[in-house]
Amino acid sequence: MKGKSCKAKGSAFERYIAKELTACGLGEAKRELMSGGGWRKGDIYCPQFPLLIEAKNQRVYKLNQWIDQAKREAEQGFHNRDKWCLMLKDTRTPDINPTIYAVLDFYQLVELVKRYNEPVMKEPDRDMKFIISNLKTWLNKLDKKI
């Protein structure tokens, strides 16, 4: 592919990822203007996604170059060089339903898994204790009526 068609292929992939992130319930994700050329950097802006997203749809993988690019852009856009994610399209799969791989720093993956496994609420705060207390009272009243 040459110039414009390569750019169109990359843009279509970025729009696809944004559409999928939105469909997954992560807020309205959208392709960055000029593919990260603004102050936010990255290819896709997704408010609920904690990492900068760099998307690549190329037949030949250049992982080291792409990871360096993602780190640079994460440092500029997120002010944290470690918060990046590289999304790669498996070019052997169709454009309609592609297989997408995510490459990220090992320690970022560990942090995400730890957060996933943490309870949503470790200890109820004052408001939640009040709500639970009222709920217990109402359940006791309901139990007596039944």
Q: Which domains does the chain carry?
A: 3-104 (3.40.1350.10)
Cα–Cα distances in angstroms (integers) from residue 117 to residues 11, 50, 104, 121, 131, in the given order:
35, 17, 19, 12, 25
Tokens for 73?
Answer: 């852009």
CA 47 from centre of chain: 8
Q: What does the pLDDT read at residue 35?
A: 62
23 against 47, higher pLDDT: 23
Q: Helix (H, G, I), strand (E, B), or coil: what is residue 73? A: helix
- Residue type at 30 in one-letter notation: K
pTM: 0.73
Least confident range of 4-18, 26-40, 58-72: 26-40
Q: What is the end-to-end Cα distance of the chain in Å, rounded?
A: 73
123 against 48, higher pLDDT: 48
Q: Phi/psi of residue 110, each to 5°?
A: -60, -45
User: How far apart (Å, rounded) are the C-alpha atoms in residues 64 and 109?
Assistant: 18
Q: What does the pLDDT read at residue 57?
A: 94
